[in-house]
Amino acid sequence: MRPVYPMTSAPPDPLAQRFCEAIHELPAKRKAECCKSSPGFTVIEQCTRTLSFALREKAVTLAPTDVDKCAEAMAKSVEGCDWVAPLPPYVPAACDGIIRGTLVEGTRCRASLECADNLRCLGAGPTEPGRCSKPLPRGGPCSHAVDTLAAYTAQSSSDARHPECAGYCAKRWCADAVPVGGACESTTECGPERYCVSGHCAEGSLPAAGQPCLAGLCAKGDRCVKGKCLAAGAIGDRCDNDTDCRSGCEKPASGGAGKCFMKCWAK
């Protein structure tokens, strides 16, 4: 078997390399500096290889100004050391959604990011290409493959921009999304930009820090405390568990509240 993005002798695309260095190499180096260790494993080589290939094939576009904004946002997000945790940090919003697909419906593709918005590369996987297609109706198979390019480039909005199902994926089969006001058990059932609030689907964006929580939910990176969204704690802030902090929560052996601290490795 061969990878859907082949290994070639072509030099890396400078724009792809700069983008991948920003989202993978920069946080790894900063974490090593904070933890006084060597940078750990990253997928920068795979990120650069796959994105370079997609750019050379003109299957995607990536604007230099967007990469500049991404690199700036990433550098700001890893200032200091209170963000250091066992897992990589969130990729800033400025880095997500900037890789745009150019392929139209019916075109052979290697990843959904190569398709225009609202099209999915159905049938594609790490070793097999697919074709840009409209989202599947109820009863279609779903969640049977990993999008290689989206994974390596940390594009978390890929599923929303390139939905696999017209509704949502339920246990590997497409199902109709629950309409606004309809009964639900989970946010997934409600479809994109909707949330399951008090057992019913509601639409809107998640509240940011300082706003009331939406059914216990807050914008990415924020946390819900006593019904209000708060920014994740910095080093020294009071905490009850790791989700209260940008990094980790260290609790005293005697019990009680802890303090946020730099957490280099999982315990």
Q: What is the pTM of this model?
A: 0.86
Q: Return the biggest CA–CA distance within the chain.
A: 62
Structure confidence at residue 267 as a pLDDT band (50, 70, 90): low
Residue 212 lies in a domain: no
pLDDT 10s digits, 65-85: 999 999 999 999 999 998 898
User: What is the DSSP-derived secondary structure letter of residue 136?
Assistant: B
Share of the chain above pLDDT 90, in %: 62
**End-to-end Cα separation, the chain, in angstroms:** 37
pLDDT 10s digits, 220-266: 778 887 888 988 888 888 888 887 888 888 888 888 889 998 888 87
Show Cβ contacts of residue 8 under 8 Å, excluding neighbours closer than 6 positions: 53
Number of folded domains that form the chain: 2
Range of the domain at 257: 231-261
User: Do 109 and 3 lie in a common domain?
Assistant: yes
Position 246 scores a pLDDT of 83
Which residue, 158, 192, 216, sits at the end of a domain?
158
Q: What is the CA radius of gyration of the chain?
A: 20
Cα torsion 225, 229, 231, 232: sign? positive
Residue 235 lies in a domain: yes
Q: Which tokens belong to 184?
A: 């639900």
Q: CA–CA separation, 9 vs 11, rounded Å? A: 6
